[in-house]
Amino acid sequence: MAPLRTPRPRPDRGFERIYRRHVADVYRYALAVMRNQADAEDITQTTFLNAYRAFERGERPAKAHNWLIAIAHNVCRQRFRQSARRPASARCPAGVSR
């Protein structure tokens, strides 16, 4: 009979704890910056996706809250840059129907 192996802790579990502990704070930060619930939800999702990728690469922040807010801040800045490049609206020429 083979000896029982002790299960190694999955990195997902550690990240799940970080997620549960900080998701509300990240969402509140994004909502305060973006002032739009849909954008805040998108930014929260992107923030945790970026954080998870970094977590998989082995990054382990000393202070998870500060790390996540910094990621959220960068995602917000990226969103502002992208929205600045897009025209607010486009007018249809006369005679063209929508």
Which tens digits make up the pLDDT trace of 44-69? 999 999 999 999 999 989 999 999 99
What's the confidence (pLDDT) of residue 21? 98
Determine, yes or no, domain membership for 76. Answer: yes
- Asked if residue 72 belongs to a domain, the reply is yes
C-alpha–C-alpha distance, residues 26 and 22, integer Å: 6
Structural domain contains residue 53: yes
Count of domains observed in the chain: 1
Q: How far, in Å, CA of 66 to CA of 69, rounded?
A: 5
Contacts of 55 (CB under 8 A, 6+ apart): 11, 14, 15, 18
CA-CA distances (angstroms) from residue 59 to 50, 55, 56, 64? 11, 5, 7, 11
In a domain, 4, yes or no: no
- Domain, as residue range, for 42: 24-82
Q: What is the pLDDT of residues 6-15, one digit of tens each?
A: 665 566 888 9
* Run of H or E residues at 21: helix 11-34
Is the pTM here over 0.85, yes or no?
A: no
